[in-house]
Structure 1
């Protein structure tokens, strides 16, 4: 009985692995992006990156000033 359940479980695992391999081997289509959209996203990313860098610099300054006290 236990062997039968183990064999059924192994069968389910093998079937799942076969499905995973099928999906992994199926080529995906590249997402269609408008070049203008991509450029805009890059600009927004750079803006946000600059803001984050500025905030980190301010935090560093506050920490340095606090350490001197």
Structure 2
């Protein structure tokens, strides 16, 4: 299961990098003069990913514990 968890984390990182690259490309191509994404939004995205990973880990632990109790 650890391998699956690592693979899942890598996939989420790759998806986040793709979103960042797409946003950077969009900003470079934009001539409308709109402001870039504020730093606090970027920090929220990073924090969201951290929390999601933590919740995923805790749910895995709970699932393992329930599995042991049912055995």
Greater RCO, 1 or 2 (C-alpha within 8 Å, sep 6+): 2
Q: Which has the greater radius of gyration? A: 1
